[in-house]
Structure 1
Amino acid sequence: MTQPLPALLCFGEVLTDMIIQPDGRWLSRPGGAPWNVARILAGWGLPAAFAGAISRDCFGEALLAASAEAGLDLRYIQPVDASPLLAMVYSTQPPQYFFVGDHSADLHFDAANLPPGWPQAARWALFGGISLARPPLAGHLLAQARQLKAAGVRLAYDPNFRVAMDARYDAMLRQMVALADVVKVSDEDLAGLFRHHDQAAALATLQQWNPQALILYTCGAAGAQLWAGTQRLQLAPPPVAVVDTVGAGDASMAGLLASLWQAPQAALAQHLAAAVASGSAACGVAGAAVPLRSAVDALCQRLLPQVAVMA
């Protein structure tokens, strides 16, 4: 029996994080923001896939194995004969990194090679990460987003700011915001993308570009806001024994998408509580792990009465 095609798709990059250790050794870990979101959704039992290309070598094999372990639909991952994409994290306090990936595998993703009928099965598609700052892949993904939007698929966009997103990224930012049904940004994203620290002005600009978009604005320990037209909600995070904050933003995005997918008619407060609960739960586990769905649901119920309307 043929496995049904997934409804929740995450497009972009999956890569290998090479993280320097105190003794000078390098530790490799699978990473990439869109892949992390897909992995969390699949780990919660939702019909999710990551769509992207990987190398045919030891790095690609590890990424494919991690994807299979996460329950992702491997028909959407394309092994190609090209070098791997690596993120060299040469400092963790504070985080400092650079990417190694000239002409690497991720750039060779081709939507034409996805399973037949995949656009008809799609209901939500996430775009973001460094993939949208890496030509020619960036242009291909923008075109794909436009086609899916025209077909009635709902779009989510998480820019996930990185240093490669300089002034050359401005046009992509504006075009993706205009297309998206959901935009997720952090305070750090806004400072990097707009190159100033007037967060309110940056958020107002996003809303001006797309007044209909739902905007999730995360502020770390200060919690999060959800903007929907003239409605603005805010929620502080619960007390959590923080192990680390790696992957918290991706978990927030996954929590919001899962809520919108499973309870599309729910109140905005429910969606915001789900996003904050997911990000908070991710802080209680080491690395970019999948937070337990039971822990997320319990946190969400605790947080829901605390959602406040912004003045």
Structure 2
Amino acid sequence: MTDFPQFVCAGEALTDMLRTDSDDWKSLVGGSTWNVARNLAKLGLRTGFAGAISEDVFGDALYAANEQAGLDMRLLQRFKRSPLLAIVAETAPPKYFFIGEDSADLYFSPAALPDGWNRDLQWIHFGGISLAREPLATTLISLARQCKKDGVKISYDPNFRNLMDDRYDATLRTMTQLADVIKISYDDLRGLFRQENADLALTQLREFNPEAVYLYTCGAAGASLHLGDQTWQALPPQINVIDTIGAGDASIAGLLYSLHKTPEKTWQEHLDFSVASGAAACLAAGAQAPELAQVSALYEQIKKN
């Protein structure tokens, strides 16, 4: 009998449409939760992406990428609905919007997953715009609550986008209260709490769930880990940054990998591995799922600093 995944990422897989010139566009597979799944699989963990994609050319590309990433194909659903597209007109500063009012991702159904899909499940990850789009958001919150009851650990990365206005506030609180690990960035905090003081926003977020572990990423300034009244900090290694796309997804994947594979390590070491994972994703253009060897080398570099 084939084993089911130990790690599952539930949410959106989408197509990024990047404007490369005034009239030229490039399509890339993506999606926050899907990228985390791809990173976990690349690090060697049994992982599945639980979500839905379309049956057109965009869906075909996502299906092929899902398979190429080594993700469990039994958890991927397909529907004859339109694709979910992120239209990125500018990247610096980012200007984007989403197309997918009745797209396939919204039709994801946990009830349609194969029997026993969660038999080996240890962690499930949520986040991205999937939690800001109904009816998918309600579906995923219900799934998170059931997984919590079943003793599955939950990680959550809001990954702020312009869809997340005050209507998202209740979801932010609910998912933070359910999660064991929350990944949040400087920009996320300012966007989600609609204020410039990110440190104050982090304090407010932590009040939702004082028992959780919080991974707070600040780009080139490094990251910190917060648990109770303790804080650990780490600076990224010296690398030649190509771009930072997907670094946040890689960092939470790195933290989950470290917690799972080497639970005996200190929180400082877990944080160092997370930062190394994020840095490794910056070594090539576009969202990257770095090799374990790359991450391990950068991790050793951080430990020496």
What is the TM-score of this pair, normalised by structure 1? 0.96
> CA offsets, 1:245-283, max 9 Å, x none?
110111101111111111123210111001100001111
Task: Give the equivalent residue in structure 1 for 2:95.
Answer: 96
Task: Give the equivalent residue in structure 2 for 1:152.
Answer: 151
**Structure 1: distance between partners of 2:211 and 2:234:** 21
* 1:221 Cα deviation after fit: 0.6
Letter in structure 2 aligned against 1:81: K
Secondary structure of residue in 2 paired with 1:118: coil
Task: Give the equivalent residue in structure 2 for 1:140.
Answer: 139
2:46 counterpart of 1:41: no
Letter in structure 2 aligned against 1:227: H
* 1:216 Cα deviation after fit: 0.2
* 1:301 Cα deviation after fit: 1.9
Secondary structure of residue in 2 paired with 1:24: coil
Secondary structure of residue in 1 paired with 2:256: helix
Secondary structure of residue in 1 paired with 2:18: strand
* 1:199 Cα deviation after fit: 1.6
Secondary structure of residue in 2 paired with 1:121: coil
* 1:292 Cα deviation after fit: 2.1
Letter in structure 2 aligned against 1:219: C
After the TM superposition, which of the residue ranges 243-252 and 261-270 deviates more from structure 2? 261-270
> CA offsets, 1:195-224, max 9 Å, x none?
002222111112211111000000011000
Following TM superposition, the consecutive aligned residue runs of length 4 or more in structure 1 with deviations greater than 3 angstroms are: none
**Structure 2: distance between partners of 1:28 and 1:176:** 31
**Structure 1: distance between partners of 2:105 and 2:60:** 14
**Structure 2: distance between partners of 1:261 and 1:4:** 17
* Structure 2 gap segments, 5+ residues each: none
Letter in structure 2 aligned against 1:47: R
Secondary structure of residue in 2 paired with 1:279: helix
1:18-167 matches, cutoff 5 A? 18-22=17-21, 24-167=23-166
1:219-238 matches, cutoff 5 A? 219-238=218-237
**Structure 2: distance between partners of 1:245 and 1:291:** 13
Task: Give the equivalent residue in structure 2 for 1:178.
Answer: 177
**Structure 2: distance between partners of 1:93 and 1:207:** 30
> CA offsets, 1:61-107, max 9 Å, x none?
11000111111111110011111000011112221110000110000
Letter in structure 2 aligned against 1:273: D
* 1:23 Cα deviation after fit: 5.4
Report if the CA contact (8 A) 1:285-1:291 is conserved: no
**Structure 1: distance between partners of 2:303 and 2:182:** 21
Letter in structure 2 aligned against 1:126: H
Task: Give the equivalent residue in structure 2 for 1:241.
Answer: 240
> CA offsets, 1:131-162, max 9 Å, x none?
00001100010010000001100000000000
**Structure 1: distance between partners of 2:189 and 2:284:** 26
> CA offsets, 1:89-132, max 9 Å, x none?
11122211100001100000000111211222210000000000
Report if the CA contact (8 A) 2:5-2:118 is conserved: no
**Structure 1: distance between partners of 2:238 and 2:189:** 25
Report if the CA contact (8 A) 1:30-1:63 is conserved: yes
Report if the CA contact (8 A) 2:156-2:176 is conserved: yes
* 1:305 Cα deviation after fit: 4.9
Report if the CA contact (8 A) 1:269-1:304 is conserved: no
**Structure 2: distance between partners of 1:214 and 1:35:** 22
Report if the CA contact (8 A) 1:274-1:297 is conserved: yes
* Structure 1 gap segments, 5+ residues each: 307-311
Report if the CA contact (8 A) 2:4-2:118 is conserved: no
**Structure 2: distance between partners of 1:40 and 1:283:** 13
Secondary structure of residue in 1 paired with 2:283: coil
Task: Give the equivalent residue in structure 2 for 1:309.
Answer: none
**Structure 1: distance between partners of 2:173 and 2:87:** 29
* 1:302 Cα deviation after fit: 2.1
**Structure 2: distance between partners of 1:39 and 1:3:** 20
* 1:24 Cα deviation after fit: 2.1
Q: How many equivalent pairs are there? A: 305
Letter in structure 2 aligned against 1:274: F
After the TM superposition, which of the residue ranges 215-224 and 194-203 deviates more from structure 2? 194-203
Report if the CA contact (8 A) 1:224-1:276 is conserved: yes
Letter in structure 2 aligned against 1:269: Q
Q: Percent identity?
A: 53
